[in-house]
Amino acid sequence: MENKWKNKNFFQSLKNALNGVKFVWQYGSNIKIQVVFGILVTILGIILKISKIEFAILVLTIFIVLICEVFNTAIEKLVDLYTLEYNEIAKIIKDVAAGAVTLSAIMSIIIGIILFLPKIINYIAI
């Protein structure tokens, strides 16, 4: 039996994946905020002339937050597919998924402090 959901080739897989990202962008409010912060800290990193390793850590951190947001949206939609009525277990699932985004955002703030605070202090001291 043929699976009607199976992608025909790599380009179909890529198109479907990009459609998923597009959906999160269109219907998620938080991802826009996260992208803006990602752009701002990237600009700050350029201004403060962070090293290549620091820049790699920064980019990795930004993308971890975005990936968590994408998974959070997928989990929320899956729960909504299961039930549109209030359900305590559905609420817990959604809260846990949102918690992953929150933890990744906290991690990104800590990494931002580690990367930028010494450079900002040094920049101000000059």
How would residue 105 be classed by pLDDT, with cut points 50, 70 and 90?
A: very high
Q: Which of 2, 54, 69, 76 is catalytic?
A: 69
C-alpha to C-alpha distance for 39 and 70, rounded to whole angstroms: 18
Output the six-digit token pair for 69.
């947001």
How would residue 101 be classed by pLDDT, with cut points 50, 70 and 90?
A: very high
Highest mean pLDDT among 26-30, 111-115, 121-125: 111-115
- pTM value is 0.89
- Annotated active-site residue 69? The verdict is yes
Question: Which pLDDT value is given to residue 28?
Answer: 87
Residues 33-51: tens digit of each pLDDT = 999 999 999 999 999 999 9
- The architecture of the domain spanning 23-125 is Orthogonal Bundle (1.10)
How would residue 1 be classed by pLDDT, with cut points 50, 70 and 90?
A: low
Q: Environment class of residue 65 by beta-carbon count within 10 Å: exposed (0-12), middle (13-18) or buried (19+)? A: buried
